[in-house]
Structure 1
Amino acid sequence: MENLLEKIKQSATYIESKLSKKPRIGLILGSGLGELADEVEQSVKIQYEEIPNFPVSTVEGHEGQLVLGQLHGQDVIAMQGRFHYYEGYTMQEVTFPVRVMKQLGVELLIVTNACGGMNKDFNPGDLMIITDHLNMTGSNPLIGSNVEELGPRFPDMSHAYTPEYISFVEEIAKKHKINIQKGVYAGVTGPTYMSGAELIMLRKLGGDVIGMSTVPEVIVARHASMKVIGISCVTDMAIGEEISGITHAEVVEVANRTKPTFIKLIKEIVSQVEL
């Protein structure tokens, strides 16, 4: 994406023109979780196509708008629908909204997703705190010339998911009797669901769940020195030796079933997190 910094500032300026307060928390709402944005108070909704330089979401179950306002007393900006590499966008386009969030003043990114469970101890409907990730996409959103104003040439990813927030989310879940897992998210490009041999390989490499998003956004968030919380909803089991096939409709159905618990957890995190 040419003139990246200029485009980021153009998008941020347009969004700022519709705001009275700067958001401090950014939310990327995955499949089935878009309804959380409907609970944002004093909300301003901006369709992606209205925003200069923004891509447009093409995936079923993704609304395709920014929602800005207050959630449990915190100033937030929520992406109701995200962008994916498999849609044909570049990695820079996929992660562009995260850059804009940073420009707007966001300090903490909470990223959510629907995923397949490779860990045999997991079950459909489980929520999982992401402790780390495997970037198996074969690409990286930071490839190309680096803009020093956006972040360092060689950012450290050893703690991509902010350690103190991992413990914090665990405590929140325990307090509200929400059963929660912890593990490693393996990020792939999609749009195909993985073969049995691929799933076995990724599990042996250390992956607990697998999905087609999140990793690019987190890389850019950390490049921009944002703090990160990642939470996955296990919508199906992806055990290589036992796979029987899965459809996107089935993924959305399980995500919708888990939605009330997931929304409750995110709301409690937003209301109690210290920035």
Structure 2
Amino acid sequence: MVGRAHYYEGHTIDKVTFPIRVFKLLGVDTIVLTNAAGGLNPEYTVGDIVLLNDHIFLAGLAGLHPLRGPNIDEFGPRFPPLSDAYDLELRRHVHKAWKALIPPGGRKLHEGVYAFVGGPSYETRAECRLLRQIGADVVGMSTVPEIVAARHCGLRVLALSLVTNTAVLSPVPRGDDCQLRGKNTRELEVILQEGKANHEEVLEASRSAAIDMQKIVIQFIMDGFEGS
């Protein structure tokens, strides 16, 4: 499947997760999801790939949840556990494929926690600090609702994030900051723009890393078939 429906585009959470249930009915037992994400972990840089091992779903905790409403027993239980949402064995296979394909000193692979936000605006500095403090390594506007639906259906899940921009965690400059005295409007604008998320830059980072992401997914799939 190429592309996905996003909640921020105006789709309902049911429509966002609809393809996952179709996959289940078609007999799919494993899904691989990819996304572009902002890096919250200061050790991450643009172009790094993060293998997700957990997530933070604040919208779901607040009630915007793909499993809200009458349960469809044919898909899964009323209260599915998510403490093991991201399949450990699949993650081990990815690390193996990574070592075989990516030379030392090349693009970095991490494991980390993804925070879902509704979008479409990028996060404020305070929101980025909040998400980092509660354990998130990357933040984005997709994937987690699909993960929840997939695990409800009993599907095995693998998810990869490409870090396309780094979040600004430093506080907004104060209006009474003595270090800003004497600076003109242009100089102040440069300070405020530093590290600011830019959608065009996100797209460019995605294009430049797409080949490595494809290599890893293809190798992962090939290894899976060879081991079956």
Q: TM class, shorter-chain normalised?
A: 0.7 to 0.9
CA contact (8 A) 1:120 1:239 kept: no
Write out per-residue CA displacement over residues 60-118 of structure 1, whole angstroms, 9 at most, x where no aligned residue. Answer: xxxxxxxxxxxxxxxxxxx2110111111111110000000110010100000000000
Match of 1:220 in 2: 149
Partner residue of 2:50 out of 119, 125, 128: 128
Match of 2:167 in 1: 238
Q: Distance in 2 between matches of 1:205 and 1:235?
A: 21
User: Which structure shows the higher strand fraction?
Assistant: 1
Displacement, 1:159? 0.5
Q: Distance in 2 between matches of 1:211 and 1:136?
A: 12
Displacement, 1:239? 3.4
Q: Distance in 1 between matches of 2:80 and 2:168?
A: 33
Match of 2:135 in 1: 206
Higher mean displacement: 84-93 or 116-125? 84-93
Secondary structure of 1:147 counterpart: coil
Displacement, 1:130? 0.3
Q: Distance in 1 between matches of 2:122 and 2:77?
A: 34
Partner residue of 1:252 out of 203, 206, 216: 203
Partner residue of 2:116 out of 168, 172, 187: 187
User: Which structure shows the higher helix fraction?
Assistant: 2
Q: Distance in 2 between matches of 1:239 and 1:195?
A: 8
Tell me the number of residue pairs that the alignment of Structure 1 and Structure 2 aligns. Answer: 197
Matched, 1:156 2:107: no
Q: Distance in 1 between matches of 2:116 and 2:14?
A: 16
Write out per-residue CA displacement over residues 209-236 of structure 1, whole angstroms, 9 at most, x where no aligned residue. Answer: 0000000000000000000000010000
Displacement, 1:179? 2.8
Over the residues paired in the alignment, what is the CA RMSD in angstroms?
A: 1.3
- Relative to the length of structure 1, the TM-score reads 0.69
Match of 1:147 in 2: 72
Higher mean displacement: 87-96 or 239-248? 239-248
CA contact (8 A) 1:127 1:179 kept: yes
Matched, 1:165 2:90: yes
Q: Distance in 2 between matches of 1:249 and 1:206?
A: 28
Secondary structure of 1:95 counterpart: helix
Q: Distance in 1 between matches of 2:46 and 2:195?
A: 14
CA contact (8 A) 1:117 1:239 kept: no
Higher mean displacement: 240-249 or 186-195? 240-249
- Bigger relative contact order (CA 8 A; separation at least 6): 2
Secondary structure of 1:133 counterpart: strand
Q: Which has the larger radius of gyration?
A: 2
Moved beyond 4 Å, runs of 4+: none
Identical amino acids, percent of aligned pairs = 41
Q: Distance in 1 between matches of 2:15 and 2:195?
A: 34
Partner residue of 1:102 out of 15, 19, 24: 24
